[in-house]
Amino acid sequence: MKKLLFFLPVAILLFSVSSCKKIVEQFFSPIDVNMPSFQLVIPPVPVVSPSEVSLGSYTVYFNLDSAIKANTRGVFGVSTISTIKVRQMNLEVLNADQQNNLANFETAGISLASNSNTSQANVAAFTFADVYAISASSQIDGAELKNYFAGNELSFTLTGKNRRPTQKALTILVKTTLSVK
């Protein structure tokens, strides 16, 4: 009888904890979190490369816990997250002209590393038409990134393959929207 009296409250406690987690998952629908935008400067690329090359990188400091609390009126925080994915990335050339714009490139990709996970994760891929363009968007259903956001220092790297040389440095504005659940 004593064993039953001991195990019954433990079983109830375990059931309550697992039930609370299920309740949180049901009410905490995915939210979009806009990361701070940042600028990358791509130096002039005077030759056409046969493959993708690094075009620049940028490190951003981002406190996901604060962003989640701001989007949920303080109800949820980083401890309630089950998944983080990039939902969308946008590129915009701020100083494009007719000879130097996204049409100079065939493809581009963005990868992510952080101070909590240093391996590179591919988070966005872009293919550009050979027509004048200053912006591009990539809708993504990509890799799970939760362990990258355990830290607060995120490093983005832009790679690309050009179809023709660029004559000047291009300033790229990068905007990222995360899907957090």
Instruction: Tell me which range, 31-40, 56-65, 153-162, is most confidently predicted by mean pLDDT.
Output: 153-162
What pLDDT is recorded for position 79?
77
Q: At 135, list the tokens.
A: 């912006």
Q: Which residues of 17-46 are buried (b: 16+ CB within 10 A; e: fewer)?
A: eeeeeeeeeeebeeeebebeeeebebeebe
Span 111-117, average pLDDT:
93
The string of DSSP codes covering 34-56 is EPPPEEEEEPP--S--SS-EEEE
Q: What is the pLDDT of residues 23-46, one digit of tens each?
A: 555 555 788 889 889 999 999 999
Lowest mean pLDDT among 2-16, 53-67, 72-86: 2-16
Q: At 76, list the tokens.
A: 């949820």
What pLDDT is recorded for position 111?
94
Listed by start position, the domains of the chain span: 30-180
Written out in words, the top-level CATH class of the domain with range 30-180 is mainly beta
H helices present in the chain, as ranges: 2-27, 64-71
Give backbone dihedrals phi and psi of 81, rounded to 5 degrees, phi first: -75, 135
What pLDDT is recorded for position 114?
94
Give backbone dihedrals phi and psi of 104, rounded to 5 degrees, phi first: -70, -15
Span 102-108, average pLDDT:
97
Dihedral sign for Cα atoms in the order 120, 171, 136, 104 = negative
